[in-house]
Structure 1
Amino acid sequence: MNYLPLTPPGETPTRVMTIAGTDSGGGAGIQADSRTFAMLGVHACVAVVAVTVQNSLGVRGFHEIPVDVITGQIEAVAGDIGIQAAKTGMLASSEIISAVAQTWQRLDTDAPLVVDPVCASMHGDPLLHPSALDALRHELFPIATLVTPNLDEVLLITGIDVVDAASQKDAARALHALGPAWALVKGGHLRSSSHSPDLLFDGTDFHEFDAQRIDTPHDHGAGDSLAAATACALAKGYTMPDAVSFAKQWVTECLRAAYPLGGGHGPVSALFRLANP
């Protein structure tokens, strides 16, 4: 695959922020985002919104960071270092979602915002209080450049159960109607297909991205990695379809390089890039 252009050594690289929760097992969340940022030659900035207690077997709990600390992290970085794109992950509660949305609007920035609406872990453990769904729909989605839900999240947010290409288009329309500039309905969980079809919609045109499904049980952090790679490509000036196409290739290679870890699901691996400079 063709990688993003790298900044020459000694020059300030592209800066992208992840606004998300930590993963104590290192497979997803801020840890996965930061690995993708680093392997793509991007400087990772971080706003921690929650600390999770988890491993490869599941999430045992999480602790929310105080809202003023979350907003302070975003504002401190934006006011000094600068943010050329950002992506969100686990945001935990309606209060945190509202604070992040309001802070982003106060920045008055043209930087793209990729929203990965993390509602539950891959094991089904809740990572978002049920009351926060409305805050996602009505406060964060309207200011998002792109939203990237998986099919379980699509069902929670829109009520649409995606089972085929037609319902995937219905879901994309429903997501776009909530306000983001672009909606991406990921097809990784569409088990009726031997492929992983993703569908991007801008309110007028559909863009389809397909890849052979990688046969691995180790897919922890795949959604984080795709959203992070998309944010990196957008920060580098890619158009949205080109950014999503790049991210789709990136996460496919991360899945191909996934490894076992602990007694449960291992993570996708951005470390494959170390062998493919």
Structure 2
Amino acid sequence: MYTTKRPFVLSIAGFDPSAGAGFLADVKTLETLGCYGLAINTANTIQHDVTFQACHWIPKDLIFQQLEMLLDRFSVKVVKIGIIENLSILNKVIDKLLNRNKNIRVIWDPVLKSTSGYAFQGPQEFQEHLDEVLEKVFLVTPNFEEIKMFYPGFDLEEKIGAIRMKTNLYLKGRHRTEAPGLDELFTTGGNYFSLAPGRNDCTEKHGSGCIVSSALAAYLVFGFSLPEAAEKAKSYTERVLASNTTLLGYHHL
């Protein structure tokens, strides 16, 4: 098994040509925070920071082959997963990871719809596999729009309760109207942590959700507790959000 001074973190996500989101954003985040970022492409997207046109899914067999090869070579302890064609494939990917290492920590960033309205997941299949996926991952990181797809018919408090019975929940607050930028961490142990905005010079960025989830992966692989990792990931993401006034953030300042 190949090792380096930097820990390996794997991103399984889509390709964004503008490099603001997807595995390119993940790898930039991971490298900036001292990790070696590995990546598997789940989809070729036609997009930039303003417009999303199309998504072309990578065949699942190619994803599985790349995963097997990387796990044969590198010691991976934390994995972040972004867009993926459906939860059936996601479930199989998670099984392959856990079969290699039952202690591997999987962070699922459920990117369910683009800002332009392109839906990545069908609602029926999403609900069919949701419980099984949540029971296997270490952490799920939806925003306020994405969590609406979880458990239809439940109100927000009920959704949070149902999720935290199965896994840890980092709820991103970018889309909340009453307290913009307030993130919240709910743990399976019943603990709650409020993560208020730490600065007032942040501006909207394409791919901010990818950045916070991969930053969480980085801090977890360095041994920080989940609450510590959440606080540090929030701070790092805000640094990128404040790096300039465009929709594409800078990681190396």
TM-score by length of 1: 0.82
Q: Which whole-Å CA distance do the structure 1 matches of 2:102 and 2:233 have between them?
A: 23
Query: What's the counterpart of residue 76 of structure 1?
Result: 69
- Alpha-carbon distance in structure 2 between the residues aligned to 1:241 and 1:173: 18
1:3-14 alignment to 2 at 5 Å? 11-14=4-7
Q: Does 1:253 align with 2:239?
A: yes
In 1, distance between residues paired with 2:125 and 2:18? 25
Counterpart check, 1:172 vs 2:173: no
CA deviations 1:2-27 (Å, max 9, x no partner) are xxxxxxxx953110000111111211
Q: Which moved more, 1:25-34 or 1:190-199?
A: 190-199
State whether residues 50 and 63 of structure 1, in contact with CA within 8 Å, keep that contact through their aligned partners in structure 2: yes
Find the residue that maps to 2:146 and give its secondary structure: helix
> Where do 5+ consecutive residues of structure 1 fail to align?
1-9, 261-265, 273-277
SS in 2 for 1:84: strand
In the alignment, the residues of structure 2 paired with residue 154 and residue 133 of structure 1 have an alpha-carbon distance, to the nearest angstrom, of 12
Q: Secondary structure at the match of 2:38?
A: strand
Report the residue type matching 2:35 in the other structure.
V
Aligned-CA RMSD value: 2.3
**2:249 is the counterpart of 1:268:** yes
2:82 matches 1:96:
no
Change (3 A) 1:199 1:102: closer
Residue 34 of structure 2 aligns to which amino acid in structure 1?
G
- Which among 212, 226, 231 is matched to residue 226 of structure 1? 212
CA pair 13-252 structure 1, distance change in 2 beyond 3 A: same
Deviation, structure 1 residue 192: 1.6
Corresponding residue number in structure 2 for 1:191: 177
Specify the code of the residue in structure 2 equivalent to 1:186.
K
CA distance in 2, matches of 1:112, 1:138: 17
Distance in 1, matches of 2:197 and 2:203, equals: 17
Paired residue for 1:23? 16
Name the SS for the 1:254 alignment partner: helix
Distance across 2 between alignment mates of 1:204 and 1:96: 30
Secondary structure, aligned partner of 1:226:
helix
Whether 1:139 and 2:132 are equivalent positions in the alignment is: yes
Matched, 1:109 2:136: no
Contact 1:36 1:229 in 2 (8 A): yes
Residue 51 of structure 1: aligned partner: 44
Cα deviation per residue 1:90-111 (whole Å; 9 max; x = unaligned)?
A: 0122342232122123223312
Aligned pairs, number = 251
Q: 1:63 aligns with which of 43, 47, 56?
A: 56
CA distance in 2, matches of 1:25, 1:76: 27
Q: Residue type matched to 1:174 in 2?
A: A
1:234 aligned partner, one-letter code: L
d(CA) in 1 for partners of 2:128 and 2:90? 6
Structure 2 unaligned blocks of 5 or more: none
- Residue in structure 2 matched with residue 208 of structure 1 by the alignment: 194
Q: Secondary structure at the match of 2:145?
A: helix
